[in-house]
Structure 1
C-alpha cells in the first residue's frame, strides 16, 4: 500500500478506515437530518431529495482527500514511532550477539514516550556492558589472587614430598600462613557477595568498641613492629549497636592495610566520638593515596599503590560492614602526613532507647 510496510501500513489502514467511516457517518447523518427537516415542514417538499451527480462527485472528492490526508498523517506519525522502535530492536539483536556497545538512536522527531523508551534502553545496555566488564575483571582478578597462595601451597607440599623441605614447625607455619591468607580471601569475597545480593545479615547487640579493639592491640603490636610501625592506641569506652565479629573484621582489615602499605613510622589507632558517630581510625605517616585513586579506594580490587601487595578486598569489606551497620568507610589526610582510613558507626546515646 503506497510503499508502506509493517506497522506503518497498519496504522495507515486504520486511520484511512477512521477517515472513511467519519465521512460516511457525516453523509448519512446529514441525510437523516435533511429528511427530518422535510417531515417537519421546515424545508419545502418540492426540493429534490435524491443525490445529484455533483453530490456524488463532492462525496468522492471528500473521500479521496480524507483518505489521502489520513495516509499522509499516518506515515508521518508512524515514522516517529516505528523508526526509534526499529532502532531499539536492532540494538537488542546486536546485544544478543555479544556486542554490548550497541545503542538505539531515537532521533529528534521521536515522541516523548518513545524517546524515553530509547533512553531507558540505552541506560540498561550501558549498565549491562559495565556489569559484564566488571564481572570479567572480577573473575580474572579472583583467579590471580587465588593462584598465588595455591601455587605456594603446592610448592610446599611438593617440596615436602620430594624431601626438599622438612615437615617441621617452620614448614607447618608456612602452610598455615598460606591457608590463613586463602581463608581471609574467601571470607572477604563472601562478605562482598552477601552485600551485593542483599543477604548480608548481622547479629546486632550492644558492644563496647574498645573491648573489641583491645585484643587486637595485643595481637597486632608485635606484627606492626616487625613492619617498622610504632602504634599508639587511643581506646575510650564507647558503645555501639552492631555485630561484634563483623566490627572486629573491619578493624582487622584496617590494621592489615596499614601493615602492608604504610611506611615505617608512627601509627595512630583511635576511637573517637563525633556527634552521633563513633569513628575507628588508623592514621599513618605515609606514603598516602594518589589523588586519582582516592575516590575509588574502597572499591573491590582497588589498591592505593601498584605494588601488587594485598588482595585489594580489605577496604571494600570495611565499607560493606560499615554500611551494613548504617555507617560508612572514610579516607582523609592524616595529621601524621599520610592517610587516615576509618569507618564510623552510629553512637548509642543514653537519652535514646536502642531501636528508637
Structure 2
C-alpha cells in the first residue's frame, strides 16, 4: 500500500474515531441532562400538589370532598392556581392509611387492601400542618414514560444528524486527504524516482530542495543530493583507482612479457642479465600489491598495530642517519627544534611514515637548503576533556606544492611531480598510506605549502596509552 493511501485511510479513520467519541460524549451528556430535568420537574410537580392539598385541608378542615377537588384540578383547564396537570395517578390517605381520594373502587379502603399497596406505601409523602401529619399522598406521573419517548426521539434525531455530519465530514476529509497527500507525497515520489535512477547508475541526478518546500522534505532532499555527490566522487575514485592500478601494472607486465618472449624465441639467452629486469619488475609489482593491501587495511580500520612506548625523537634521528648520504649529496642543513615527549604506537608503522616523509622532503629540497623538524606539544578540548597532542612538523626547502594540488596529495597514485614516475621507484601510494597509518593511531597528517618556499607535512600523535580512546 502506498504512503498516500495509508495517509488517507489514517485521516478517515481518525475522523470516524473522533466522530464516534464526540457522539458518545454528546449522547451521554444529553441523557444525564434529561434525567436531571425529569427529576427536577417531578420534584416541582410533587411540591405543587403538596401545597395545593395542604391548602385544601386548611380551608376545609378535613379531606371530605378532596376527590372532587382533585378531579377538578386534573381536568378543568380553567382551574386557577392548580398544579400542572396531565395523566396523573394520585392517592390521598388519612393518618390511618385509609384512601380518601384515588381510584373510585378503592376509596375508603385501607392501603393494605389496595393492589400494589405495599409499593404505594413505600412511596407515600407525608402532608403536615403545624408539624402535625394530616395525611399522606402518592403521586405517579407518566412524565417519565413520555420523557423516555421524547429522549428516544431526540436521540434518533441526534444520531441521524451525526451520521449526516459524519458522512459530510468524511467526504471533506477524503477531499482534503487527497489534496494534502498529493502535495506531501509528490516530493517523496520524485525522491523515489531519483533513488531508482541512482540505483541504475545515474549519479548525476539532483533535486532542487527549494522546490520541495521546507522542513523535513528539504532536509531529505539535501541529504539525497549530498549522498549522490559522494557516490559520484566514490565512483570516480573507484574508476580512477582501477585505471591507475591497470596503468601501474601495464608497464612491468609489458617488460616481463617482452623479456620472456625474447627468451622463448631464442633472441635472448636466459642469462642473469636478461632475468634481472624481470625480477625488478616482479619486485615492483609485489611492492605495489603490498602497499595497496596495507592501505586497504588501514582505511577499513583493520590494520594490526603493536603498541608500545616510543621515543619519537630518537626514532627520527635514526631515520636521518639512514639518509646521511642523501643529505650530504644535497648539502642539506638539518634543523631540529622543540621538545618531544614519548608517544604510544607501532614503531614499524610510524617508522614507515617518517621514512616516507623525510625521503620526500630530501628529494624535493634544493641543494644547499635545509630540512627542518619541529616538535611541539599542543592541547585541545575534545568531548569536554583536555587532550595532549605532539605535533611533528617536517619542512623542506623545495619549490612547494601548488595550491590546486594540496587537496589531492593524499590521493592514491597521485603525483605532484609528473617527472617522478613509477620507473624511479614510486607508486604514488606513500602519502596515502602515511596518512591512514597516522589516523589508525588516532592522529592526523596534514600539509601546508607556499610556492618557492617549500612545504610542511605535520604529524599529530596523541600522548596517550590507549590510541583507541
TM-score category of the 2 structures, normalised to the smaller one = 0.7 to 0.9
* C-alpha distance in 1 between matches for 2:35 and 2:322: 111
User: Aligned pair in 2 of structure 1 residues 78, 60: CA closer, same or farther (>3 Å)?
Assistant: same
Deviations along 1:200-219, one digit per CA (max 9) or x if unpaired, are 23212233445544564565
User: Residue 396 of structure 2: which of 283, 290, 302 is its match?
Assistant: 283
Deviations along 1:75-103, one digit per CA (max 9) or x if unpaired, are 24323432222122212221222212334
Deviations along 1:264-317, one digit per CA (max 9) or x if unpaired, are 513534544222525262513x33211111233223233223436243211112
Matched, 1:273 2:375: yes
Aligned to 1:141: 244
Matched, 1:340 2:439: no
User: Residue 75 of structure 1: which of 178, 196, 201 is its match?
Assistant: 178
Higher deviation after alignment, 243-252 or 228-237? 228-237
Deviations along 1:248-274, one digit per CA (max 9) or x if unpaired, are 2112322443466x2651353454422
Task: Please say if residues 160 and 166 of structure 1, whose CA atoms lie closer than 8 Å, have aligned partners that are also in contact.
Answer: yes
Larger radius of gyration: 2
For structure 1, the 5+ residue unaligned runs are 349-353
SS at match of 1:265: coil
* Structure 1 residues 266-345: aligned runs within 5 Å: 266=368, 268-275=370-377, 277=390, 279=392, 281=394, 283-284=396-397, 286-307=398-419, 309=421, 310-333=426-449, 337-345=453-461
* Structure 1 residues 183-202: aligned runs within 5 Å: 183-202=286-305
Task: Please say if residues 257 and 314 of structure 1, whose CA atoms lie closer than 8 Å, have aligned partners that are also in contact.
Answer: no
Q: Which has the higher contact order (CA 8 A, sep 6+)?
A: 1
* Structure 1 residues 33-72: aligned runs within 5 Å: 33-40=29-36, 41=38, 45=143, 48-49=150-151, 50-51=153-154, 58-59=161-162, 61-72=164-175
> What is the TM-score with the length of structure 2 in the denominator?
0.60
User: Aligned pair in 2 of structure 1 residues 88, 64: CA closer, same or farther (>3 Å)?
Assistant: same
User: Aligned pair in 2 of structure 1 residues 320, 230: CA closer, same or farther (>3 Å)?
Assistant: farther
Aligned to 2:235: 132
* C-alpha distance in 1 between matches for 2:216 and 2:185: 13
User: Residue 230 of structure 1: which of 331, 343, 346 is its match?
Assistant: 331
Deviations along 1:185-213, one digit per CA (max 9) or x if unpaired, are 22321222112111123212233445544
For structure 2, the 5+ residue unaligned runs are 42-142, 379-389
* C-alpha distance in 2 between matches for 1:63 and 1:89: 35
SS at match of 2:309: strand
- The number of aligned residues is 342
User: Aligned pair in 2 of structure 1 residues 306, 34: CA closer, same or farther (>3 Å)?
Assistant: same
* C-alpha distance in 2 between matches for 1:23 and 1:345: 67
Query: How far apart are 1:67 and its partner, in Å?
Result: 2.0
Deviations along 1:45-97, one digit per CA (max 9) or x if unpaired, are 46633149986875465234322332233224323432222122212221222
User: Residue 349 of structure 2: which of 224, 236, 246 is its match?
Assistant: 246
Higher deviation after alignment, 63-72 or 142-151? 63-72
Task: Please say if residues 358 and 394 of structure 2, whose CA atoms lie closer than 8 Å, have aligned partners that are also in contact.
Answer: no
Task: Please say if residues 401 and 449 of structure 2, whose CA atoms lie closer than 8 Å, have aligned partners that are also in contact.
Answer: no
SS at match of 2:368: strand
> What is the TM-score with the length of structure 1 in the denominator?
0.76
Aligned to 1:351: none
Query: How far apart are 1:127 and its partner, in Å?
Result: 2.6
